[in-house]
Structure 1
Amino acid sequence: MEMHRKKRIEILLEAPAQKRLTDLLDRLDVTGYTVSPVLGGKGHHGAWSREGLPSAAGAMVSVAIVVAEERIDEVLEPVFELVRRHIGIVTVSDVMVIRGDRF
């Protein structure tokens, strides 16, 4: 089976910024992304949970994107510019996909 090398960008950020991020990804012609709620975790400032939050104000989401290696800077730079103004984390990893024409 033929595999294709791509880059996976995962963005963890405050839920209220999600729409700004997905609108940006649409403008950048990213072919797809997945948004998932983040239930809790532990970081630099200790453990946290969205349990009991009355609104999305303290909630976090994770947005995953797979892009061609040659597009990584084109996508990553504006994404980081948006995320750096919020609570969030951006990670990049190497992935292999089967249907390379989708990215």
Structure 2
Amino acid sequence: HTDWESVPDWHDIGYPVVECRADGTFLVGKPPATGGLVNTATVGEQVLYEIGDPATYLLPDVTCDFTQVTLRQAAPDLVEVSGARGRAPGHAY
């Protein structure tokens, strides 16, 4: 996250927790009473950091399309991610 000075309680930072749903959406949060910050900026920056081509993000078991992803602040330190789509991986995988 590039605005690191706005992140509270670095000494007790909570690791992200992801709750995946059957419809393909997921929630990103952190344990209560831990430091850190989960908001649309922190989640969005992490997703962008990982992706070279947002339409064709290659993984061993799936090719992901992130071009229609939306991020919504669902609660404090809880972000809902929706719109990602997957398709079969390429023949090289």
**Common fold: TM-score over 0.5:** no
Per residue, is there more strand in 1 or in 2? 1
Q: Relative contact order (C-alpha < 8 Å, sep 6+): which is higher?
A: 1
Q: Which TM-score applies when normalising by structure 2?
A: 0.33
Q: Which TM-score applies when normalising by structure 1?
A: 0.31
